[in-house]
Amino acid sequence: NAGVTQTPKFQVLKTGQSMTLQCAQDMNHNSMYWYRQDPGMGLRLIYYSASEGTTDKGEVPNGYNVSRLNKREFSLRLESAAPSQTSVYFCASSDGQGANTGELFFGEGSRLTVL
């Protein structure tokens, strides 16, 4: 049981390049999330998907796009990377039902550097 798996774990990009961060969960969860964490800061929500087929903006969606490919997978795309997007990206999932709505399971993070 892998939980939440993120790929890649590390990536270096040049300004203007594009890339997609992949996230998959094997817990049959309904909701999935993408957060970013800058050095010394708390997590900020980029996008989330409450259920398969829906996506919503979080606190800092600009410069990102997401796709809920199916119930298991939720990808985050940077179309034209900027140095300000250098961060650690965390994917999370939750059952999304009842009182367990806020019980999120996180991946190990993807460390992105944009030069």
Residue number, 84 or 97, with CB nearest to other proteins:
97
Where does this chain touch other proteins (CB under 8 A) — which range of 12-20, 34-42, 66-74, 78-86? 34-42
Round to whole Å and give the CA distance between 7 and 91.
10
Among 12, 103, 113, 115, binds other proteins (CB under 8 A): 103
DSSP-H helix ranges across the chain: none
In 3D, which of 96, 95, 92 has the Cα closest to residue 109? 92
**Residue 29 and residue 27: Cα distance in Å, rounded?**
5
Interface mask (CB under 8 A) for other proteins, residues 50-89, using x and -? Answer: xx----x-xx----------------------------x-
96 binds other proteins (CB under 8 A): yes
> Cβ atoms within 10 A of the Cβ of 113, count?
13
**Among the listed residues 23, 78, 104, 114, the single contact to other proteins using CB under 8 A:** 104
Main-chain phi, psi angles of 96, to 5 degrees? 70, 20
Binding window for other proteins (CB under 8 A); candidates: 19-27, 67-75, 78-86, 104-112: 104-112
**Which element (helix H / strand E) includes 65?**
strand 65-68
Q: Rounded to an integer, what distance in angstroms lies between the CA atom of residue 106 and that of residue 2?
A: 11
**Footprint on this chain of other proteins (rule: CB under 8 A):** 4, 30-31, 33, 35, 41-45, 48-51, 56, 58-59, 88, 90, 92, 94, 96-99, 101-109
